Amino acid sequence: MTAAEKILAAHTDAKEIKPGDIIRVDVDVALSNDITAPIAIREFEAAPEPRIADPDKIVFVLDHFTPNKDIASANQCRMVRDFARKYGIRNFFEGGEAGVEHALLPEKGLVVPGDVVIGADSHTCTYGALGAFATGVGSTDLAAAMLTSRVWMKVPESMKFVFTGELRPWVGGKDLILYLIGQIGVDGGLYRVLEIEGPAIAALEVSDRLTISNMAIEAGAKAGIIAADEKTAAYVKDRAQRPYTVYRSDPDARYHSVTEYDCSNIEPQVAFPHLPSNTKGVSEAGEVRIDQVVIGSCTNGRIEDLRIAARVMKGNRVAKGVRCIVLPATPAVFLQAVEEGLIRIFLEAGAIIGPPTCGPCLGGHMGILARGERAIATTNRNFVGRMGDTSSEVYLAGPAVAAASSVTGKISSPDEVAS
């Protein structure tokens, strides 16, 4: 069996499972935010006997339109707040306790290896980097999980991707997953598990692995799993709030396909509009002028990402006419960035520092693009109108390329500006 199949089998009453089976799965964590939770709450309260099966399995994070941008978002958050208070939801995060959900939950130890995690947010697949089976669901599925702690699911096939070779300078998890998506397309992993391994993955820190799993959904995947190893164990050691089990694929596990990539051939990547699969090496970018840079999000807003960006921006200035927005993903990341002097570097470079929020990633607030503007962002999607006006353009990249581009005013390699 594959790792995904083993995890799902351990969470169902079925004696054995195979791809294509419809199974009822016990859920360890059911997650939602200020956009999707209100829909789930309405469905939950419409049930004949609304009752939370296990309040400790529910996690609400108010992160998308917060700090509240308008009356509508304030009312959304109030609905979730009142519901959490009424039903005793202990894992409720808002204000100074909140952060971007998919950065916050691993940091808090709320997800551990071997878990089944569902979330009413497509990037719930992030937690696959810890060796969990994590996937996005609709708000009605979330309501059902709140009522029963279970969810129906079709067992997906797995595709294996093996990354070998040494990483080139400035290449990280974001570049590897953009390259993969560029190779297989936005539907190349449709309703399959991307199982990602190899010596180059083993060399990555957990932060880079979280970035990789985060974007599995951009290839249409159901989940993106990286088997837990000693680095995972070290990451969760002082965080994990409960015991966990590590699952690894058997040597004779069956895969839909097995693909190998040599990292020595992969340079920093940029996804051009309007798909994450429209990727090019940064050396092929040409003269693309930009108006805005966003460094943050559930994809690349962790302390490791900010360190890379600061390394590039130190001693440089943001180009005239460019808005560079830096959003640490959680309060703990923000505090650490202050203590390490990273925030000072960003401010001295002329960047704008904002609170932990999804904000501009989904065109929510704190960085909306005007007609015809271009942004390069460390976020995960660049669909038409994703960050503002439908005539605007979003380019995706890692923190090094984003930071370098803020200095030059055009999409650039970090080698052009880093000291």
pLDDT bucket at 64, cuts 50 / 70 / 90: very high
Q: State the pLDDT at residue 419.
A: 63
**Are residues 276 and 255 located together in one domain of the fold?**
no
Q: Give me the mean pLDDT over the 241-247 stretch.
A: 93
Q: Give me the mean pLDDT over the 59-70 stretch.
A: 94
Total domains in the fold of the chain: 2
**Are residues 222 and 368 located together in one domain of the fold?**
no
Tokens of 237: 């050691």
Helix and strand numbers, DSSP H then E, in the chain: 14, 18
The CATH code of the domain that includes 109 is 3.30.499.10
Q: Give me the mean pLDDT over the 101-112 stretch.
A: 97
**Are residues 36 and 85 located together in one domain of the fold?**
yes
Structural domain ending residue among the three candidates 261, 289, 312: 261
**Are residues 158 and 209 located together in one domain of the fold?**
yes
Domain region containing 296:
270-416
**Are residues 370 and 253 located together in one domain of the fold?**
no
Q: Which helix (H) or strand (E) holds 105?
A: helix 101-108
- What b/e sequence results for 329-339 when a residue is b if at least 16 CB atoms lie within 10 Å of its CB, and e otherwise? bbbbbbebbee
Task: Report the amino acid identity of residue 22.
Answer: I
pLDDT digits (tens, 9 = 90+) for 251-273: 999 999 999 999 999 999 999 99
**Are residues 395 and 251 located together in one domain of the fold?**
no
Q: State the pLDDT at residue 241.
A: 84
Structural domain ending residue among the three candidates 233, 261, 289: 261
**Are residues 95 and 150 located together in one domain of the fold?**
yes
CA distance 337 to 163: 31
**Are residues 64 and 126 located together in one domain of the fold?**
yes
Q: State the pLDDT at residue 333.
A: 98
Q: Give me the mean pLDDT over the 192-219 stretch.
A: 97
- Percent of the chain predicted with pLDDT > 70: 100
* Average model confidence (pLDDT) across the chain: 96
**Whether the predicted pLDDT of 32 surpasses 90:** yes
Closest CA to 325 of 301, 299, 298, 289: 301
Q: How far is Cα of residue 341 from the mean position of the Cα atoms in its chain?
A: 25
**Whether the predicted pLDDT of 76 surpasses 80:** yes
**Whether the predicted pLDDT of 418 surpasses 90:** no
pLDDT digits (tens, 9 = 90+) for 283-302: 999 899 999 999 999 999 99
**Are residues 27 and 142 located together in one domain of the fold?**
yes
Q: State the pLDDT at residue 15.
A: 77
pLDDT digits (tens, 9 = 90+) for 113-137: 999 999 999 999 999 999 999 999 9
Backbone region of residue 90 per phi and psi (left: phi > 0; alpha: psi in -120 to 50; beta: other values):
alpha
pLDDT bucket at 377, cuts 50 / 70 / 90: very high
Structural domain ending residue among the three candidates 234, 261, 288: 261
Q: Give me the mean pLDDT over the 336-365 stretch.
A: 96
**Are residues 65 and 198 located together in one domain of the fold?**
yes
**Are residues 317 and 249 located together in one domain of the fold?**
no
